[in-house]
Amino acid sequence: MSDTILTTEISLTDLEDAINYWRIQRPATGEECALSPEVNALADVYAVMIIEHLHAIDLNAVGKEPRQLFDAWRQTREGRHAG
């Protein structure tokens, strides 16, 4: 039963893992190595956490796009652990 409980927080470590996942899925492009929109959205949350010295942040405190990206990463991670 506890396996189905959804976390309402993003830890800094999990956010770093999610950013790395999206960096692989959508690598930087162009001569300037611009971040993909996905990585950029998560990097904004990461910056807030670093500046405010947070170890975790509530999912409800982040925008819709970063929350969806984090959820998509979490689903892929859970899929790897299920098999």
Mean pLDDT, range 51-67, rounded to an integer? 94
Q: What angle do CA 41, 42, 48 make, to 5 degrees?
A: 100
pLDDT above 90 as % of the chain: 67
Q: Quick one: pLDDT band at residue 81, thresholds 50, 70, 90? A: low
pLDDT in tens, 23-51: 999 998 888 889 999 999 999 999 999 99
What are the E-state strand segments in 1-83? 9-11, 56-58
On whether residue 3 sits in a domain, the answer given is no
On whether residue 18 sits in a domain, the answer given is yes
On whether residue 28 sits in a domain, the answer given is yes
Bridge partners (DSSP) listed for residue 11: 56
On whether residue 1 sits in a domain, the answer given is no
Q: Which domain holds residue 47?
A: 9-82
